[in-house]
């Protein structure tokens, strides 16, 4: 109906507030909006927010939790898509990180730029660890191809690739002020992972 105020469907206020927060986080950052703004965007009074969330951080934590759910599913899908090749699975999880940050910026900011600890509540910690665990599993299966005396810990390798993926996103994919890459973020990440794996002896120098 024309002119009808956008609001939430009965019984779905909690999710409407999360979606309002995600839109505001994308536009203003995780500290640039108030609960009153989120309530207004969801079409309810500020008092209604407190039926579901203790405060703004609690609302952002729920946005982060939902983001990790999506992220973990994407990482697991990427890993499975690369099978039976452990190398393809490992590389796919790195690409999935970049794809997630681009497609779900509000969730990404909530997860990695809001200052919300993954240990804020058990549900958030569980799903975050599920996402991290997929990358570690990909590293573990790949490291198994190396002789034991040349095999770095899988957790270390997954942390290296996580840091590389995160750096490419932060510096070149999300448009940090004053930072412009002469190369597409996907190429930066792909070649960076390639150099890393060549150094470990998992890719021949001529490939």
Alpha carbons 169 and 104: distance in angstroms, whole number: 12
97-139 pLDDT, tens digit each: 999 998 999 999 999 999 999 999 999 999 999 989 999 999 9
Clarify whether residues 39 and 84 are in a common domain: no
Alpha carbons 40 and 140: distance in angstroms, whole number: 47
In terms of residue numbers, what domain contains 15?
8-53
CATH label of the domain that carries residue 48? 1.10.10
Clarify whether residues 142 and 94 are in a common domain: yes
Clarify whether residues 30 and 77 are in a common domain: no
Clarify whether residues 38 and 79 are in a common domain: no
190-207 pLDDT, tens digit each: 999 999 999 988 877 665
Alpha carbons 114 and 191: distance in angstroms, whole number: 29
> Are 43 and 16 spatial neighbours (Cβ–Cβ below 8 Å)?
yes
What is the reported pTM? 0.85
Which of 54-58, 78-82, 136-140, 175-179 shows the lowest mean pLDDT across its residues?
175-179
Clarify whether residues 49 and 67 are in a common domain: no
CATH label of the domain that carries residue 129? 1.10.357.10
Question: Among 159, 155, 138, 134, which residue's Cα sits nearest to residue 68?
Answer: 134
Alpha helices (H) in the chain, listed in sequence order:
13-28, 35-42, 46-49, 56-82, 86-103, 105-112, 122-143, 154-168, 185-200
Overall domain count for the chain: 2
């Amino acid at each position: 109906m024309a002119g009808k105020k956008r609001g939430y469907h009965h019984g779905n206020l909690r999710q409407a507030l999360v979606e309002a927060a995600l839109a505001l986080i994308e536009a203003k950052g995780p500290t640039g909006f108030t609960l009153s703004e989120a309530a207004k965007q969801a079409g309810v009074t500020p008092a209604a927010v407190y039926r579901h969330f203790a405060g703004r951080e609690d609302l952002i934590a729920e946005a982060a939790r939902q983001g990790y759910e999506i992220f973990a599913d994407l990482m697991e899908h990427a890993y499975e898509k690369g099978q039976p090749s452990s190398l393809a699975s490992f590389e796919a999880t790195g690409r999935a990180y970049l794809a997630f940050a681009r497609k779900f910026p509000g969730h990404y900011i909530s997860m990695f730029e809001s200052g919300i600890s993954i240990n804020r509540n058990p549900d958030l910690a569980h799903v975050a660890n599920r996402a991290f665990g997929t990358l570690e599993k990909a590293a573990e299966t790949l490291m198994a191809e190396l002789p034991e005396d040349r095999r770095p810990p899988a957790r270390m390798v997954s942390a290296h690739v996580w840091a590389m993926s995160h750096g490419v996103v932060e510096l070149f994919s999300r448009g940090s002020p004053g930072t412009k890459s002469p190369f597409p973020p996907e190429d930066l990440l792909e070649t960076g992972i390639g150099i890393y794996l060549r150094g470990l002896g998992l890719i021949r120098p001529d490939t």
